[in-house]
A = this chain, B = another copy of it.
Amino acid sequence: NSENSASTSVEDPLPSWNQGQTKSAITTYVEMVTTSDSPDFIPIKDRIATFDNDGNLWSEQPAYFQLFFAIDRVKTMAADHPEWATEQPFKAVLENDMTELAKQGEHGLLQLVMATHAGNTTEEFKADVQEWIKTAIHPTKKVTYDKLVYQPMLELLQYLRAHDFKTYVVSGGGVDFMRAFVMEIYGIPEEQIIGSRIKTSFEYNNGSPVIKRLPEIEFIDDKEGKPLNIQKIIGKKPVFASGNSDGDLQMMEWTASNEQESFMLYLHHTDEEREWAYDRESHIGKLDQGLDQAIRDGWTVIDMKNDWKVIYPFEK
């Protein structure tokens, strides 16, 4: 019986969320747009929900996890690249010299990404990422990276899907990097993952077709790239958008312009004890303009410290 308070936690679709304005804003919206006689009812085909990934579905500190993958790959590949011992940015990586690595700037990062993300086939790359995600350990949390997903967001994804929303990842991260593990962790299939891409070519290897990964950026799925990619790939506006930084602002605005009732959700990192606290001045996941606009336009902002009972699944 739903009025029996003893059973509340069993029936609550968002058990890791504390009761309060944020949680009730989400459930009120979902009930409103999925109740068939509601004036704001949204047909199932239009229930598109898009989620940023880094810092929104999993942590992103002290550096994007994909950068740790690149660093780990450089170390794995170093035996075949003796020249890296004296060549930046590889030398800095091999010597664990993060100060020097930071000095190499964006160009250095790009070199790292290209050396570790290109030159192989799509299938070889996928196998590399899958091996890494099962074994690599986060430098400060001391667990594998897949453990650092946000339990409340897993529940939110599941709750939306239970109401026939189609959940997408729309991330600045590499699309093929994410596809290697996202299905298992978030329950989102490959075809609902959108991200940044490098160029590829279709080739034959002993008569068998392969797709080779080329060392050149094709599309950066960030800022205005997010709505552009959503339009290119999904072909319709989301009704629900979730992110944590200024890089998600254009996706939020695009979603807010939907003629159907839409929901914009920002995650504010406020918990320096259990996770990290950062916003307007952060070098990663900067949330400044987005926070101002969320407040001005009445979008929902998650206060991580107060709205979330647990952060990671292993805390349950």
Contact = CB atoms under 8 A, between A and B. Distances in A.
Interface of A: 45, 48, 122, 166, 175-176, 179, 183, 189-191, 193, 197, 200-202, 208-209, 211, 224, 227-228, 231-236, 250, 253-254, 257
Q: Please tell me how many copies of the chain the complex holds.
A: 2
A117 to B, nearest CB: 15
Contacts of A200: 228, 231-232
Contacts of A122: 231
B189 A250 contact: no
Contacts of A175: 232, 235
A186 to B, nearest CB: 14
A228 B254 CA distance: 28
A227 B211 contact: yes
A128 B167 CA distance: 30
A283 B236 CA distance: 34
Contact of A45 (B179, B189, B236): B189
A21 to B, nearest CB: 27
A197 to B, nearest CB: 6
B257 A208 contact: yes
Contacts of A208: 257
Contact of A227 (B45, B209, B231): B209
B202 A235 contact: no
Contacts of A253: 209
Given A175-B232, A190-B234, A193-B235, 8 more contacts: A122-B231, A175-B235, A191-B233, A200-B228, A200-B231, A202-B224, A202-B254, A233-B233
Given A200-B228, A202-B224, A202-B228, A179 B209 contact: no
A168 B235 CA distance: 13
Which of A233, A235, A236 has the most CB atoms of chain B within a 10 A radius of its CB? A235
B211 A45 contact: no
A182 to B, nearest CB: 10
